[in-house]
A and B are shown apart, each in its own frame.
Chain A
């Protein structure tokens, strides 16, 4: 099941494996407001209204319970909070879910029964679930389904957020999170923190830091006035770009370390040219399946570009700390002494085995093919997995007569995020930014394809050509952020942020489309 994911375009290599599964007889269900190219491969596409994932998930859960298809043994053995969950889903009859999500009830029933009855089932999601003001609730609603049916912790059954980059997982693994140290060890846990302090011979602030949207709020308050950005381009990627630009420009000091002179680098006080992590540096990456793999320096970097590690070491030196000579393997070995889940991953083993999935506690440990197997152990190991009795909260940017069209955002096959990496090469599939709308909406507004229109939200306005996509229904529009120099889509988006994840609701803005007035009529 792909929920809020157009993996055919956003994870094409992964999707090749999905296609192999389909060839071998696997069923595919896709939940997505758009009938994407992934949805075309699905046995059933469920085209929900943007932001109604929880009603749909709850209706699926209720239908599974109604049909008696839940995994009663697993629920009793390994979960908690089932009663509250049952009560939370109770109001979500198929009929009510149909009226809220727009998906015909027969399709919801089909999905529920197929998921519950499948011997093994993977539930994968992407930003369609997480780029919402209630992202964590959305994720929990999906986890509920896996707990209800026992589709977790078994070979072939599981939950999987498909990560957006080769090393998003690795960033988290290494502690690039506001509340965790390396190996997901909680910063506010004194014993864990002290372990790091001893090794590093320093004091670590004992409180969690800010996540990205928290940082912007702190800038707004004046609590944050120096920012060091490594490999990010927030000017182009943040929702509500007008605000992001204003806050970044107001900083006392903005340092950007990047391969390219991004829009953010352009307004920085200091730019530190970096080497490419995957071809000019030594180290490791972690893929979506928790597999740690070696990366090696294959080409020399261009003159002036420097290794991230060396830049950091030099910076430390200027700040009065001598860390010595940077050495990727030595750093990794130090990490292995601090992060138990990486302890068994020597460079030698990573190279010999072609990568190892964490956790890998010692050098005789093969790594784990899947997580959460403990839930099935008898007697059970560790705590029960809790159901999350979450509730539906519709998108913040409501539709009304002035802004009647729902704009959602995403990616296209040949381009990547703000175009920093992908804009450098040409693609025959690329037509620049467009506002994709249904052919019906095009007719309604009297538009010809590729005619420029003004698109306006409560926050800003851009001009973009329209393109007709029969995969969209009337009232639904789609844009990307691939071409910020051509169309600044994030002037339209809303920075309504999920307090738990810090992610903004890129997926749901309310917009209006206005036909451009010909100049001579002015």
Chain B
């Protein structure tokens, strides 16, 4: 292997961190001590001596978690152990926001300043932190702690949100939401906060206790705590049915249900499963739990609040499609969800429930929105930079490790036990013809009772806002962002549109990740647009030019228009903005570029802001 290392050497604790994932090095050639006697005359090498490049991300997590940053010496050691070129390992490590490649204090407070938290005081919080801890990214408190701004943490129902992480032999984390200075101070000191317990989970579901709930029924209840409780509550029935009636029956039911993916693309789940089921192995199932769309938190609530149901659904899907291994890719900012899912998977394993299916493994993201794109997610699991691949080939043909792969969003999978228990036909009867089944919506921003709401498909945007207690703040609605940062802004007179795939399409919006985020009339909408543009600029992976350049140009244009200093005329600037948007839509490799301008476009078309009248 033509690996070229820098002279940097790892510290003892960096070695221990890597070894905690890979086990101790077997020989000097793999980074261990040079022993003349045993290793001078034989060695393993090549790809087969690597424990697997896909362990790179877990190894980087281990180092970052234990040491607080990833030093050149640690990268050398990790690269040697995995037989990955150090330059590539650096490329991977520097791809992710949660990893630091220069020394920083062990405690880091990530303060969400994204759109939902913006609407609920994130900027004021940042100002206070700057006064107490110093500027962002600087050390404070004897260099023990620092704070940074963060994109959406997926805690929008409890905005403003802060995630505090501490590195050390046992890395720890605390969620503070809604965050005040006192809570953050306590969390930085490592003291527990009350945001993680069961009560907090059910706080995210204002409908808790309602008889009409199907997907959210168990969230926050005692039945979600243990596998036994889950089973007593009627859980595992779907898995039993599947095993008794066979994979073909499962495929039939899922196809009959009309279930389509809840991740945004709305692809028929049954068709996806059928394609993989009929493909040659080895093949894989990936549960996409990299929920990173600003304003979206439903998958987090499902994983934290009813993890056994998600695991059961994964087991059923893997069984029906004949997959050899399942991965749950959980975004790095969801430590609580990862813990609860791991506990659920372990209890399934111990109960022998995964034996007829396949092993399930959790992989944690590390702060990269793009990894929610399915092919970027595959690259991320495989230990490469999370850059999307060209399609075709589609995941069902060539997905994870180049093999046929089922990739489903958490919410999509959560519907599967319902389908099997009630039958595909009955599921199909719920909702509308083209949008079947129950649906989760993420309400945040200016609503009285933010949280995850479950209704049948067919509900209108206005009904959803009413369900969440109506518009809060000034009480006067200015605009509603639907579908997330990659979605669209609606004006108050468009609220009667049904929130279905077909209903949203009709008004030029999309269901996306089912975000409903109203803004009252005190909000500077152009500031929100700029934040969205900044978000895409930061999260563009940089692989393809239209998106890499377009997202930067879009941000610059919005800044110029906001500050009233257009180059040329406002009219020409807005034309240029349109053109950039068109180029990104036409020529980007993946959905990030395709939708990076959709919220901006929709707002500029509807509202008299940034020098334009509504067009």
Contacts and interface: CB of A to CB of B under 8 A. Distances in A.
Interface string A46-89: 11110000000000000000000000000000000000000000
Contact of A107 (B36, B42, B48): B42
Given A40-B2, A41-B1, A474-B36, A103 B45 contact: no
B29 interface: yes
A196 interface: no
Contacts of A211: none
A45 interface: yes
A45 B36 contact: no
A135 interface: no
B45 A41 contact: yes
Interface in B38-78: 38, 40-49
Q: Chain A interface: which size bin? A: 20 to 34
B42 A104 contact: yes
Given A35-B29, A37-B2, A470-B34, A43 B40 contact: no
Interface string A79-122: 00000000000000000000001111011000000000000000
A35 B48 contact: no
Interface in B1-47: 1-3, 28-29, 34, 36, 38, 40-47
A414 B2 CA distance: 15
B3 A47 contact: no
B191 to A, nearest CB: 49
Contacts of A8: 2
A39 B49 CA distance: 12
Contacts of B1: 40-41
B398 to A, nearest CB: 15
Nearest to A49: B41
B41 A47 contact: yes
Contacts of B46: 22, 28, 40-43
B45 A39 contact: yes
Contacts of A27: 48
Contacts of B42: 44-47, 103-104, 106-107
B79 to A, nearest CB: 13
A389 B359 CA distance: 53
A340 B45 CA distance: 45
B415 to A, nearest CB: 39
A103 B40 CA distance: 9
Interface residues of B, number: 18
B41 A46 contact: yes
**Chain B CB within 10 Å, residue with most, of A39, A40, A46, A440:** A40
A478 to B, nearest CB: 14
B34 A43 contact: no
Interface string B384-428: 000000000000000000000000000000000000000000000
A40 B28 CA distance: 13
B36 A440 contact: yes
Contacts, number: 61
Nearest to A8: B2
Contacts of A473: 36, 40-41
A158 B471 CA distance: 78
A43 B44 contact: yes
Interface in A1-55: 8, 22, 27-28, 35, 37, 39-49
A169 to B, nearest CB: 28
Contacts of B34: 439, 470
A27 B3 CA distance: 19
Nearest to B49: A43
Nearest to A110: B42
A440 B3 CA distance: 22
B506 to A, nearest CB: 49
A22 B47 CA distance: 8
Nearest to A105: B42
Contacts of B40: 47, 102, 473-474
Contact of B45 (A43, A101, A102): A43
Contacts of B41: 46-49, 101-104, 107, 473
B36 A35 contact: no
A42 B36 contact: no
B532 to A, nearest CB: 41
**Chain B CB within 10 Å, residue with most, of A41, A46, A102:** A41
A357 B36 CA distance: 47
Contacts of B28: 470
Contacts of A39: 43, 45
A45 B2 contact: no
Given A35-B29, A474-B36, A45 B45 contact: yes
B579 to A, nearest CB: 42
Contacts of A474: 36, 40
Nearest to A102: B41
Given A473-B36, A474-B36, A474-B40, A40 B45 contact: yes
A42 B36 CA distance: 20
Contacts of A470: 28, 34
A346 B36 CA distance: 58
Interface string A341-377: 0000000000000000000000000000000000000
A43 B1 CA distance: 11
A441 to B, nearest CB: 10
Contacts of B45: 39-45
Contacts of A440: 36
**Chain B CB within 10 Å, residue with most, of A8, A101, A473, A474:** A473
Nearest to A472: B40
B36 A43 contact: no
A440 B40 CA distance: 11
Nearest to A108: B42
Contacts of B36: 440, 473-474
Contacts of B44: 43-45
A37 B46 CA distance: 10
Nearest to A101: B41
Contacts of B49: 43
A48 B40 CA distance: 9
A474 to B, nearest CB: 6
Contacts of B2: 8, 37, 40
A41 B46 CA distance: 4
A46 B42 CA distance: 5
A42 B49 CA distance: 9
Nearest to A470: B34
A103 B41 CA distance: 5
Contacts of A45: 42-45
B386 to A, nearest CB: 22
A43 to B, nearest CB: 5
A43 B48 contact: yes
Nearest to B42: A107
A243 B49 CA distance: 47
Nearest to A103: B41
Given A40-B2, A474-B36, A35 B43 contact: yes
Contacts of A28: 46
A101 B38 CA distance: 14
A440 B34 CA distance: 10
Contacts of A102: 40-41
B47 A40 contact: no
B592 to A, nearest CB: 29
B211 to A, nearest CB: 56
Contacts of B48: 27, 43
22 contacts: A8-B2, A28-B46, A35-B29, A39-B43, A39-B45, A40-B1, A40-B3, A40-B45, A40-B46, A41-B1, A41-B45, A42-B45, A42-B46, A43-B45, A44-B42, A45-B44, A48-B41, A103-B42, A104-B38, A439-B34, A473-B40, A474-B36
Given A45-B44, A106-B42, A473-B41, 20 more contacts: A8-B2, A22-B46, A27-B48, A40-B1, A40-B3, A40-B45, A42-B45, A43-B48, A43-B49, A44-B42, A44-B43, A45-B43, A47-B40, A47-B42, A49-B41, A102-B40, A103-B42, A104-B41, A470-B28, A474-B40
Q: Ordered nearest first, which 7 A-B pairs have the shortest CB separation?
A: A473-B40, A47-B41, A107-B42, A102-B41, A45-B43, A40-B45, A40-B1
Interface of B: 1-3, 28-29, 34, 36, 38, 40-49
